[in-house]
Amino acid sequence: MKRWNERPFEVRNLFNPAFCGLVLFRAMQGYEEENSDGMPFSLSLLVLPLCLHKDTRETIASGSRSYLLKVVEKNPQLLVGFAKRASDSLPYALEALGLLMERGCFAVSDDGRLKTLPAKVRKSVAGTHETASCQRVARFVGKEFARIGDRVTVYTTFGIRP
């Protein structure tokens, strides 16, 4: 990972650790709405490629009245390049998780689940249309991951080996 001042301007804006952390936090909150145990670490790594990629985010948002697995089934184009996006976004996800951890926004349970801590992040979704959309989709993705309940199913659905 390049030092902050050596990154291109676009990368600094889109993969800002605070923004990526906020997106991850919203996904963890969504997960906890369905399962209070907290989000498994391995699922948190799929949140950024689903929420930051505009076409994927818009497809998920337009199908938010349905189940995530149904949305993926009806829109197989979501899978094109997803594995590469997931591996490319891994350093940014880890950097964002590090920032959240440093700020005390979540705790890690003994079994590796990420659980948000109260009163650390504003509850209201604010920002530009684009950033608010990322946050709303992240919450939906988190809820859907909890509903699916099986990490292997989620990873297999997106064409990634667990």
Q: How high is the mean pLDDT of the chain?
A: 89
The whole-number average pLDDT for the span 148-156 is 91
Question: What pLDDT sits at residue 3?
Answer: 77
pLDDT in tens, 10-39: 777 778 898 999 999 999 999 999 999 999
CB 149 within 8 A of CB 35: yes
pLDDT in tens, 66-87: 899 999 999 999 999 999 999 9
Q: Which of 160, 41, 24, 9 has its CA nearest to residue 92?
A: 24
The whole model's pTM is what?
0.90
140, two tokens? 């939906």
Could you write out the DSSP letters of every residue in 110-136? Answer: TTSEEEE-TTSS-SS--S-HHHHHHHH
pLDDT in tens, 35-65: 999 999 999 999 999 999 999 999 999 876 7
